Amino acid sequence: MPGITREEVAHLARLSRLELTDEEIDHFAGQLDVILGAVARVGEVAADDIPPTSHPLPLTNVMRPDEVRESLGTEQALAGAPAAEQQRFRVPRILGEE
Amino acid sequence: MNDLIRWTASRTAAAIASGEVSAVEVTRAHLDRIGAVDEKVHAFLHVDAEGALAAAERVDAKRAAGEELGPLAGVPLALKDVFTTRGVPTTCGSKMLQGWIPPYDATVTRRLKDADVVILGKTNMDEFAMGSSTENSAYGPTGNPWDLARIPGGSGGGSAAALAAFEAPLAIGTDTGGSIRQPAAVTGTVGVKPTYGGVSRYGLVAFSSSLDQGGPCARTVLDTALLHEAIAGHDPMDSTSIDAPVPPVVEAARAGDVRGLRVGVVKEFGGEGYQAGVEQRFHEAVELLSSLGAEVVEVSCPSFTSALPAYYLIAPSECSSNLARFDAMKYGLRVGDDGTRSAEEVTALTRAAGFGPEVKRRIILGTYALSSGYYDAYYGQAQKVRTLIARDFAAAYERVDVLVSPTTPTTAFPIGERADDPMAMYLADLCTIPSNLAGNAAMSLPCGLAPEDNLPVGLQIIAPAMADDRLYRVGAAVEAAFVDRWGHPLLDEAPAL
């Protein structure tokens, strides 16, 4: 298995929406290299014909009857939001300026 | 009155039901204890004295009105801060949720309230339940009541420490890779990871959804069973909740018998990396089981040696996905929203400020394992190992009724010792992880002190899925025999705080 470079860590941090400092990237690159070296052992287990298990239980979708029920009010739903306005979540701009 | 904090939950409930003490007196005694020792232990992140006393008053009023009380009515409990509690802060040990007050109760919270259990407050934990030491809490570590300079286990260190420090007779934990059993082992308490799907995960802030399982913690096997029964059972709010009757755990804990039972010792749990005193106490426990009439055989589960690597691919993968919800928009922290930055930039700055190093490390590891080109080699292969582990368990259960092992390879280590060595830290969950991957039930209970450091050692009992009652039947027999041998419960040997 290949090791992990600091450029890869920086790329993964961007994908994960984590703003890391250069120092953190260096630190994590070293640690992740060790961790990946250890977990890469799963690749040595001969399991070509083994079906993967994603979950300990067989999963089926669960539906409830389509009945109107009481739900959280707007005020309660917004109570934990960092910012709210006009009964909505207020978010920073999503579109670019151009 | 002071010694009522040392009572078991079942004794406390009986004393409240008979009128020997009031629920308010019991609650006050525990709040006083928390006030006296928690500055040193730091088991709690939030103490809800007002809510606890109000709940206790309701129990006393019910009794006064002649209403029949449930088996745990009026008994105080410490709740891991990963369960939502309406109107009471829930932080998951993270800065990301500092000050967040959930608008709803988790099913476990609701069932505790319905059972008239008195919730004292929320306990400290590794951030988002990631860790084996409770050092990763954003609010500072918890101390082990046996030696405050040592870890109380993780991620549910606060819950276990609250029990061992006599701050509460009952606690709730969650176990993703051992976070109920490992803290129980290193604090000399009892902890059970029920069968996956046996206790609802609704309102349990998700870390790794296919592994997370809430469960009971207490100082005796019977108390653990009573709590298990109070929180378990089908929940339509959780699609992974098993729709079947709860195994008769309380009945099993009262019966406590191992005669004729076949007990398997897993060959792969032992050897290098295991502390000598841990192995010694474990072997004595096996001899005890044999002397009590169990048939002990060695079984081999070869895939267990790959469990740790598989876990450290699956859990981070699921965590990287689950923690995507912390995007600074709907709840929790928001950093850098000064009008000049985009939503994406604010999200990245917020997550950088809100998450601690262990969480960031796992998010990046999980993102890597799930990324194109690596998915098959890492995540896909880990899922196949999971199948092999389930097959190993199934083959073992054809020969035996339960499996036993040490719960942890070592006793509690000093705070800070493994902080910068993730692989050394991950080894603490070596024996507990296979059960999470396969979804079966497991318990840890005290089996003595390691001679070299006088710290608690845990015995792990593992049972097939939906056979949780077997844990209690075996656990109660072992506990009774040990207490008989020692002349008192193990926790009586813990130093005074």
Which B residues, 341 through 360, put their C-beta within 8 Å of a C-beta on chain A?
Answer: 341-349, 351-352, 355, 357, 360
Nearest CA in chain B to A2: B374
pLDDT tens-place string over residues B313-329: 999 999 999 999 999 99
A30 CA: distance to closest CA in chain B (Å)? 11
Cβ contacts of B240 on chain A, cutoff 8 Å: 55, 57, 59
Which residue's entry shows tokens 């689950």? B322
- B164 to A9, A35, B128, B388: CA distances (angstroms): 41, 33, 23, 37
CA dihedral B488, B493, B494, B497 (to 10 degrees): 100
Which of chain A's residues have a Cβ under 8 Å away from the Cβ of B100? Answer: 80
Contacts of A63 in chain B (CB under 8 A): none
pLDDT in the model for residue A46? 86
- pLDDT digit string, tens, across residues B229-264: 999 999 999 999 999 999 999 999 999 999 999 999
Q: What percent of chain A has pLDDT over 90?
A: 70
Per-residue pLDDT, B199:
98
Q: For chain B, what is the mean pLDDT?
A: 97
Determine the straight-line distance between the first and last CA of chain B, rounded to whole angstroms: 18
Touching A: B residues 272-291, CB under 8 Å: none
Averaged pLDDT for residues B202-206: 98
Structure-token pair, residue B155: 């991620």
Share of chain B above pLDDT 90, in %: 98
Residue A14 to chain B, least CA–CA distance (Å): 8
Name every chain B residue with its beta carbon within 8 A of the beta carbon of A52.
380, 383-384, 386-387
* B386 vs A: CB within 8 A: yes
User: Which residues in chain B are closer than 8 Å to A32, comparing Cβ atoms?
Assistant: 361, 364-365, 368
Domain that holds residue A29: 6-45
Q: Nearest CA to B265 among B467, B402, B470?
A: B402
Q: Which residues of B are catalytic?
A: 80, 155, 179
Establish if B293 belongs to a structural domain.
yes
Amino acid making up residue B151: I
Residue A36 within any structural domain of the chain: yes
Q: Is residue A35 part of a domain?
A: yes
With a cut of 50, which residues of chain A have pLDDT below it? 1
Chain A interface includes B130 (CB < 8 A) = no
- pLDDT of B266-313, one tens digit each? 999 988 899 999 999 999 999 999 999 999 999 999 999 999 999 999
Q: What is the CATH number of the domain that holds B289?
A: 3.90.1300.10
B453 touches chain A (CB under 8 A): no
Q: Report the candidate in B263, B198, B237 with the shortest Cα–Cα distance to residue B439.
A: B198
From A28, A57, A79, residue closest to B196, measured CB to CB: A57
- Whether residue B318 is contained in a domain is answered as no
pLDDT digits (tens, 9 = 90+) for B395-451: 999 999 999 999 999 999 999 999 889 999 999 999 999 999 999 999 999 999 999
Residue B1 pLDDT level (bands cut at 50, 70, 90): very low
Q: Could you give the CA distance from residue B474 to residue B470 in angstroms, rounded to a whole number? A: 6
Q: Which residues on chain B are in Cβ contact (under 8 Å) with A54?
A: 210, 383
B202, B211, B364, B383: best to mutate for the A interface, most A CBs within 10 A = B364
Residues of B in contact with A16 (CB under 8 A): 320, 351, 363-364, 367
In a domain, B233, yes or no: yes
Residue A16 counted as domain residue: yes
Looking up tokens 């000064």 gives B338
Per-residue pLDDT averaged across B334-343, rounded?
Answer: 95
Chain A CB within 8 Å of residue B337 CB: yes
Given this model, what pLDDT does residue B271 score? 82
What's the confidence (pLDDT) of residue B26?
98
Print the domain residue range for B131. Answer: 3-303+387-493
A10 assigned to some structural domain: yes
pLDDT at A63: 85
Tell me, what's the pLDDT at B32? Answer: 98
Classify residue A62: in a domain, yes or no.
no
Cβ A11 vs Cβ A5: under 8 Å: no
User: What is the bridge-based pairing of β-strands A84-85 and B456-463?
Assistant: unpaired
Q: What total number of domains does chain A contain?
A: 1
The answer to whether B385 contacts A47, with C-beta atoms less than 8 Å apart, is yes
Report cis status (omega within 30 of 0) of the bond before B155: yes
Q: How many domains is chain B built from?
A: 1
The CATH number for A10's domain is: 1.10.20.60
**Which of B312, B331, B423 is the closest to A80 by Cβ?**
B331
Beta strands in A1-98 (DSSP E): 84-85, 88-89
Say yes or no for a CB contact (<8 Å) between B368 and A72.
no
% chain B with pLDDT above 70: 100
B335 inside 8 A of chain A by CB: no
Contact between chains at B210 and A55 (C-beta distance less than 8 A): yes
B50-69 residue pLDDT tens: 999 999 999 999 999 999 99
Hey, is the C-beta of B423 within 8 angstroms of any chain A C-beta? yes
Q: What are the backbone dihedrals phi and psi of residue B236, each rounded to the nearest 5 degrees, phi first? A: -65, -15
